Amino acid sequence: MTIRVNDLYAEEALKLLSALPEEAITIDPKPWYADEVKRRIEEYKSGKMETIPWNEGWEEIEEFLNGLDERAS
């Protein structure tokens, strides 16, 4: 679960968390994306991940963005 608190209410949120018993809260020190990054690195190193040259990838991105510009006009 992720809870995002508006900065205006951060102090109140901290007070609420401080009022809860210690065993009521578990903090996962590992970011939510750590397992996904590890999996993708392993895929890349093993050769399972399909890769393309930078220029080719950038051309695809430019074509996509240009298409968005054309639709907005």
Report yes or no on 31 lying in a domain.
yes
The closest alpha carbon to 25, from 57, 45, 1, belongs to: 1
Structural domains of the chain, count = 1
Tens digits of per-residue pLDDT, 20-71?
998 998 877 778 788 899 999 999 999 999 899 999 999 999 999 998 877 7
Q: What is the pLDDT of residue 27?
A: 76
In a domain, 1, yes or no: no
Q: Is 61 contained in some domain?
A: yes
| The pTM of the whole model exceeds 0.75 | no
Q: Look at residue 50 and tell me if it is in a domain.
A: yes
Angle (nearest 5°) at CA 15 between 12 and 18: 155
Domain range spanning residue 47? Answer: 7-72
The residue written with tokens 């639709």 in the block is 71
